[in-house]
Each structure stands twice: as structure tokens, then as C-alpha cells.
Amino acid sequence: MEYDPDEVKQIFYDYESHVENSKATQVGNALEGAGEARQGCGEALSNLGYLIIIILLLIPLLNFIFSLM
């Protein structure tokens, strides 16, 4: 049995097109975008936490340095 290469290519093209246009793929892409946004928000909160910790550590250190003067 021989297969026509153009027909095989068309079958795979149609299948790929069907998968790409399916609701599941669209929902997955939307969730991926939401996940990236949440990751960016989490990184911003993490950086804010580091800033707060550094400020809390600097206050006693600066207090000690100025008490020596």
C-alpha cells in the first residue's frame, strides 16, 4: 500500500489545525498567560519583602553607628 505524501501532509496539517483551534488549547494558552502574570506579581512581592527586611536590619545598624559618634 502506497501513500501519497501530499495527502499525508494534509492529514497532519488538518489535525494540527484542529488541535490549535480547539477550546482546550485556547484555555491552556489563557492559563499560561495568567500564570506568567501571577509569577511577575509574586516576584514583585518577593522584592518588596527583601526591601522591608533590609530596612529592618539597617535601622539597628544605623542606630549603633550613630550612637558611636
State how far the Cα of 19 lies from the Cα of 41, in Å rounded to an integer: 31
pLDDT tens for 14-50 read 999 999 889 999 998 889 989 999 999 999 999 999 9
- In a domain, residue 63? The reply is yes
- In a domain, residue 30? The reply is yes
Q: Are 25 and 19 in contact (CB under 8 A)?
A: yes
Counting the structural domains of the chain, the total is 1
**In the prediction, which pLDDT does 52 show?**
96
Q: How many CB atoms lie within 10 A of CB 62?
A: 10
Give, for 1, the enclosing helix (H) or strand (E): none
- In a domain, residue 7? The reply is no
- In a domain, residue 40? The reply is yes
**In the prediction, which pLDDT does 51 show?**
96
- In a domain, residue 2? The reply is no
State how far the Cα of 41 lies from the Cα of 27, in Å rounded to an integer: 21
- In a domain, residue 3? The reply is no
**In the prediction, which pLDDT does 22 show?**
92
| DSSP secondary structure letter of residue 21 | T
- In a domain, residue 34? The reply is yes
**Domain hosting residue 32, numbered range:** 23-68
- In a domain, residue 17? The reply is no
